[in-house]
């Protein structure tokens, strides 16, 4: 099959649709799918000493002051190992390659699950795939679910994988055996425009996600066992006056005490106090930091908050709840889009670069040891 150049067009139109709601028509579509949003070592002088140099004179033992060197003083006595700073930063290890537009990433500590958008002659095909926790190397990932419409979020709890799809629905399937067929977990309804459920997160027996209602933004939740009466609970409703109003959200996590939110266009890193598992206080809106344009997918690891910055080629991090200092946790990446973790490693996916035909199939899955 010959890849097409339509994928980038599709990604940015879907992004515009997510930002502006129904005001932007989705002009670039395929027969059954729409694409989710995207974007010299120094030489060592190894010369031997010049053998022609005269030897250093021996000490004059005839002098009373001359004596043999004191080995206890001259011999090095530091037997400690090099410090972490002296050893240098940990190395980024590529554990999967040849990926096409990887966008979301989660792990159940046995596998790494990610979304891909494949370029085809007919347009594009969105899929969910997985690699063993140690990576796929140069082998292709295993298909989990295929022929999807705009997967905009990914989360996992036990053996149940959740994803949002087609601007309107959240699906789930049991990944004990793959491929698996998704069933409807929740159907989102909004008063106007596409509800666009996205940015899924699991905490304390609940699945959380973002939803939009015109220019208003909502955090919704249901128990992992399913929505009671088929209806989701609104955790936060952000309307005119909120920094979320009309914004394109790109990340959502909660630890049960606070909810943290980032925006794709950059700007505030927002924090909201949660008074219960299903209620966040809109009046507690606090800007605890600033992110650049191209911020994607929040991940919370204990008290460490991380996110990908596709424009900067970095994964940034801060310590909750204050996020007093934002640091670069991983640098030198090519369009990083998502980050997750386990007890030992930080994992990420990069979309890589786009060739002249608009094809980006050089994305990678990587990991870096925690320090």
**pTM of the entire structure?**
0.77
Q: 282 φ, ψ to 5°?
A: -65, -25
Strand pairing of 169-174 and 160-165?
Answer: antiparallel
Rounded Cα–Cα distance for residues 290 and 273 (Å): 18
SS percent in the chain: helix, strand, coil, step 5: 10, 45, 50
Contact 344, 303 (CB under 8 A): no
Contact 209, 164 (CB under 8 A): yes
Mapped onto helix, strand or coil, the DSSP state of residue 336 is strand
Q: 230 φ, ψ to 5°?
A: 80, 5
Asked, as a colleague might, if the bond just before 179 is cis with ω within 30 of 0, I would say yes
How far from 362 is each of 115, 137, 140, CA to CA, in Å? 15, 13, 12
Q: What is the pLDDT of residue 107?
A: 98
How far from 316 is each of 251, 260, 288, CA to CA, in Å? 13, 14, 14
Q: What is the pLDDT of residue 89?
A: 66
Contact 34, 154 (CB under 8 A): no
**Other residues' Cβ atoms within 10 Å of the Cβ of residue 177:** 8
Q: What is the pLDDT of residue 223?
A: 97
Q: What is the pLDDT of residue 100?
A: 92
Residue holding tokens 């060739």? 355
Rounded Cα–Cα distance for residues 87 and 249 (Å): 38
Each residue's pLDDT, cut to its tens digit, for the chain (371 residues) gives 434 444 443 443 333 444 344 333 333 333 344 433 333 333 333 333 444 444 444 444 444 444 444 444 444 444 444 433 444 567 999 999 999 999 999 999 999 999 999 877 777 889 999 999 999 998 999 999 999 988 889 999 999 999 999 889 999 999 999 999 999 999 887 766 679 999 999 999 999 999 999 999 999 999 999 998 888 999 999 999 999 999 999 999 999 999 999 999 999 999 999 999 999 999 999 999 999 999 999 999 999 999 999 999 999 999 999 999 999 999 999 999 999 999 999 999 999 986 655 556 789 999 999 98
Q: What is the pLDDT of residue 149?
A: 86
Mapped onto helix, strand or coil, the DSSP state of residue 10 is helix
Rounded Cα–Cα distance for residues 132 and 146 (Å): 18
Q: What is the pLDDT of residue 261?
A: 98
Q: What is the pLDDT of residue 356?
A: 58
Burial class (CB in 10 A: 0-12, 13-18, 19+), 265: middle
Q: What is the pLDDT of residue 8?
A: 41
Q: What is the pLDDT of residue 120?
A: 77
Contact 9, 28 (CB under 8 A): yes
Asked, as a colleague might, if the bond just before 162 is cis with ω within 30 of 0, I would say no
The torsion region of residue 203 among left (phi > 0), alpha (psi -120 to 50) and beta comes to beta
Mapped onto helix, strand or coil, the DSSP state of residue 60 is coil
Rounded Cα–Cα distance for residues 101 and 54 (Å): 66
Structural domains in the chain, CATH included, are 6-33+91-369 (2.120.10.30)
């Amino acid at each position: 099959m010959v890849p097409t150049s339509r994928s980038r067009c599709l990604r940015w139109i879907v992004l515009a649709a997510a930002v502006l709601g129904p005001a932007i028509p989705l002009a670039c579509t395929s027969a059954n799918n729409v694409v989710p949003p995207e974007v010299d070592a120094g030489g060592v002088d190894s010369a031997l000493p010049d053998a022609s140099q005269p030897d250093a004179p021996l000490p004059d033992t005839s002098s009373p002051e001359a004596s043999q060197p004191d080995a206890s003083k001259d011999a090095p006595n530091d037997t400690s190992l090099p410090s972490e700073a002296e050893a240098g930063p940990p190395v980024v290890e590529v554990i999967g390659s040849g990926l096409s537009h990887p966008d979301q990433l989660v792990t159940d500590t046995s596998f790494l699950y990610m979304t891909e958008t494949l370029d085809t002659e007919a347009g594009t095909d969105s899929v969910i795939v997985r690699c063993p926790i140690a990576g796929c190397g140069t082998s292709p990932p295993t298909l989990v679910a295929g022929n999807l419409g705009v997967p905009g979020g990914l989360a996992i709890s036990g053996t149940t994988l959740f994803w949002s799809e087609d601007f309107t629905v959240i699906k789930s399937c049991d990944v004990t055996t793959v491929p698996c067929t998704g069933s409807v977990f929740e159907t989102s309804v909004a008063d106007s425009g596409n509800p666009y459920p996205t940015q899924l997160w699991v905490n304390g027996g609940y699945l959380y996600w973002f939803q939009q209602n015109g220019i208003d933004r909502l955090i919704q939740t249901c128990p992992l066992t399913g929505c009671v009466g088929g209806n989701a609970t609104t955790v936060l409703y952000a309307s005119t006056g909120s920094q979320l109003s009309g914004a394109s959200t790109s990340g959502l996590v909660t630890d049960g005490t606070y909810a943290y939110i980032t925006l794709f266009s950059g700007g505030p890193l927002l924090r909201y106090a949660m008074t219960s598992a299903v209620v966040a206080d809109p009046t507690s809106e606090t800007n605890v930091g600033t992110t650049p344009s191209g911020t994607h997918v929040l991940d919370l690891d204990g008290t460490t908050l991380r996110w990908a910055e596709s424009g900067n080629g970095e994964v940034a991090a801060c310590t909750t709840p204050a996020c007093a200092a934002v640091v670069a946790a991983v640098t030198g990446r090519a369009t990083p889009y998502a980050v997750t973790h386990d007890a030992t490693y930080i994992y990420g996916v990069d979309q890589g670069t786009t060739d002249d035909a608009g094809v980006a199939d050089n994305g990678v899955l990587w990991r870096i040891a925690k320090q």
